[in-house]
Amino acid sequence: MIQFHILGVLDLRTADGQELRSVLQQPKRVGVLAYLAVAAPRRFHRRDSLLALFWPELDQEHARAALRRALYFLRTELGAAAIGGRGEEEVGVAGEALWCDAVAFDEAIGAGNADRALALYRGTLLEGLHVAGASSEFQDWLDRERTRLRRTAAGAAASLASAAQSEGRVAEAVGWARRALELEPTDESSLQRLLSLLDRIGDRSAAIRTYDEFARRLAQDLELEPSAETRRLMESLRSRPEPPPSTESPAALPISHGTIAVLPFTMRGGASFAYLGEGMVDLLATRLDGAGEIRTVDPRALLHSLRRSGLETAESLGPEEGRNLAARLGAGRYLLGSILEAGGRLQVTASLYSLGGEVVASVRAAAAGEAGVFELVDELARQLLGAQRVGSGTRITRLAGLTTGSLDALKAYLRGERELRAGRYFDAMDEFQAAVDADASFALAYYRLAAAAAGCALAEVARAVSDQGFDHRSRLAPHDQLLFSAQRAWLHGAVSDAESLYGTITGAYPDDVEAWFHLGDLLFHSNPLRGRSAAEAREPFERVIRLVPDHLAAMVHLARIAAIEGRRGDMLSLIERTLQVSPDGDQALAMRALRAFAGENREAMAEIAAELQGARALTVAIAFADVALYAGNLPGAEMLARSFIQVARSPELRALCHILLAHLAVAGEDWKSALQELQRAETLDPAWGLEIRALFTS
């Protein structure tokens, strides 16, 4: 049967999965086919009506000839059975020969299957299609159908939200309510439902943020403000005392049926195989992501959310816990599995569930030993994709092709992922280096190694590693290729290209923690050099926090943005959160410096200055920037720099202090002092001093 997708993505394929590009390249014939498939009444349409819609400027004879050519072409490309007729004057699509997602959507709604309908509704009907020469009546029909389908989908999401709420699945209800508002972004009933649900689970800040975004959108698009009823609801939420912390967290994203949450597998067997339990999250997520229209939840966001839920081990995960976790992460399906090892042989079973609790697919695979783990994961993925009718006509890459064929490299990579998630960048570098040492073509490990090096402020190392791995990028999945390209563009100074790429990634993968963070990081550090505000980074960082509430680097940046914007209370709150999450981390001392110098607490300032004298040069530089740029305390920054000169343990650190003093002198327009400090820096580090001198004179 021909497969015709016209909701969100335009795709037309034969029964064996071959793309019918010859049809897709002709917008008018696509329009004719779509109209025949979707327009009411379904089945047959008079030729005269088609002439008026698609060839209004031609006379009767030429218009009929154009229609005959279009129908002949469609029958030739799709098969004679696809386009039928009734008498001489009626023509239609044969439902038994051509399946259309928009028709299936209406059928699912009619059958009361909202869950199935929303899995089919992936976006606007025939989005971006322009039919040259068509009548305004065709465009009017298309606009009406787009509105009808979108509103119907929003209503289906609202009904699922109500059902989930009535059954006590509040996190899932939040996800469906978000989907409803996403589909109808100016609908106040959808907004009110979502605000009430967010309030119920205690996420007052998300409710306020959602309302503010809605009000801003309403003002910009329609020059209106929310109704009095909505404003009263919001005022009530703002004025009530903050509720106690809820045991549930809201879904950060609207629920997507195309997204799968791969959960850690239970592991029974030898300790040497324990890495596979959590490792399956990375391996299967990498293997499934991008197959057809399947997306997988970012493993970093998933594992973090798992731990926040108090589910420390895979053994504590059952279908109910899996459903709640998947709903919070916006996934419409989730995978639970187990691994049994006996005598070195591996036996794996897994079940794919819908949020309604239905087992969508059950799969199993075996391997004679650890070396067979690649084929084992490939087999699991093949069965899962086959059960969802993904595979025919879809390019499916083997796991070893996406990652590595070396078991030693794979194990080092998985250890590096664990260290990177924990924020231990130097340890992560060691593991990723071991991975590329074991397999010099392991592109994903190079990408992660460059990310870890950048996190350690080793820019030159990061660039070199990124360049090495980029030569092997063809081994990556499309998602990771985009991330690699964005990372490399940024490392090489192509900021606008990197920003565009990260925007593309976050659009296609809205739960990608890494892409959102790097987009924010890029905007924060690069915008001031482009005449734009660093505060533009606030939204991407807030998206990171919604996905991973304890994301340390995002909280640090948000604290700095709060300082820039003069939101002292928010700054102090964010600093406190960072210190709770990582009291002894690399950023802790800098955050305490920002807090002390922003409040000009002399006792705390003296204490920080003393601690910084024993810190690494990188920590000193970060603290200085926080005090000078974000606390706005230039005298305090000068005091720090001068105190370090006497105790600096290396010429490089003393040079740094003189360079910092030179920057402060420039800020005060004291060019003579600035040049004197640069001369002192040049005696300690000639190259660095010369570089800064060139910067000052440019």
SS3 45: strand
> Please, what is the end-to-end C-alpha distance for the chain in angstroms?
66
**pLDDT given for residue 396 in this prediction:** 40
The DSSP output letter for 264 is P
- Residues whose CB falls within 8 Å of the CB of residue 553, separated by 6 or more in sequence, listed in order: 423, 517, 521, 587
- Residues whose CB falls within 8 Å of the CB of residue 560, separated by 6 or more in sequence, listed in order: 524, 534, 594, 626, 629, 630
**Nearest partner of 328 among 253, 225, 379, judged by Cα:** 253
Q: How many alpha carbons fall within 13 Å on the CB side of residue 484? A: 25
**Nearest partner of 305 among 506, 550, 555, 509, judged by Cα:** 550
Peptide bond into 41 cis (omega under 30): yes
Residue ranges of alpha helices (H) inside 329-406 are: 373-387, 399-402
Interatomic CA distance for residues 23 and 324, integer angstroms: 43
The DSSP output letter for 477 is -
- Threshold 0.85, pTM exceeds: no
SS (H, E, C) 164-195: HHHCCCHHHHHHHHHHHHHHCCCCHHHHHHHH
| Cross-strand pairs, 335 | 262, 352
**pLDDT given for residue 402 in this prediction:** 59
Interatomic CA distance for residues 448 and 430, integer angstroms: 11
Q: What is the mean pLDDT of each run of 10 residues along the chain (698 residues)?
A: 88 84 94 94 89 95 95 93 87 91 94 88 89 94 96 94 86 86 93 91 80 90 92 88 48 73 92 88 84 79 79 76 87 92 92 86 90 87 70 42 74 82 81 94 92 82 93 81 91 90 82 89 87 88 84 88 86 88 78 84 81 71 76 78 68 78 84 88 80 73
Interatomic CA distance for residues 588 and 98, integer angstroms: 61
Q: Which two tokens stand for residue 28?
A: 């008018």
Q: Are 101 and 127 in contact (CB under 8 A)?
A: no
- Whole-Å CA distances, 606 to 592, 602, 609, 612, 648: 12, 6, 5, 10, 17
Radius of gyration for the alpha carbons in the chain, expressed in angstroms and rounded = 29
- Whole-Å CA distances, 116 to 97, 101, 392: 21, 11, 21
**Nearest partner of 444 among 396, 476, 488, judged by Cα:** 476
Q: Are 688 and 681 in contact (CB under 8 A)?
A: yes
**pLDDT given for residue 93 in this prediction:** 93
Interatomic CA distance for residues 542 and 178, integer angstroms: 17
Q: Report DSSP letters for 297-342, one per residue.
A: --HHHHHHHHHHTT--SGGG--HHHHHHHHHHTTEEEEEEEEEEEE
SS3 3: strand
Q: Which two tokens stand for residue 633?
A: 């305390």
Alpha-carbon 694 to chain mean position = 39
Interatomic CA distance for residues 290 and 639, integer angstroms: 54
Q: Are 138 and 54 in contact (CB under 8 A)?
A: yes
Residue ranges of alpha helices (H) inside 39-187 are: 47-54, 60-78, 101-110, 114-120, 136-166, 170-183
Q: Report DSSP letters for 641-698, one per residue.
A: HHHHHHH-SSHHHHHHHHHHHHHHHHHTT-HHHHHHHHHHHHHH-HHHHHHHHHHHH-
| Residues making up the chain, counted from first to last | 698
Identity (one letter) of the amino acid at 631? A
| Cross-strand pairs, 342 | 345
**Nearest partner of 84 among 49, 37, 39, 38, judged by Cα:** 37
Residue 97 has a CB neighbour count (10 Å cut-off) of: 16
Q: Are 99 and 114 in contact (CB under 8 A)?
A: no
**Nearest partner of 60 among 44, 46, 48, 71, judged by Cα:** 48
**pLDDT given for residue 458 in this prediction:** 80
Interatomic CA distance for residues 282 and 300, integer angstroms: 9
Interatomic CA distance for residues 182 and 154, integer angstroms: 8
The sign one gets for the Cα dihedral 130, 149, 175, 198 is positive
**pLDDT given for residue 150 in this prediction:** 95
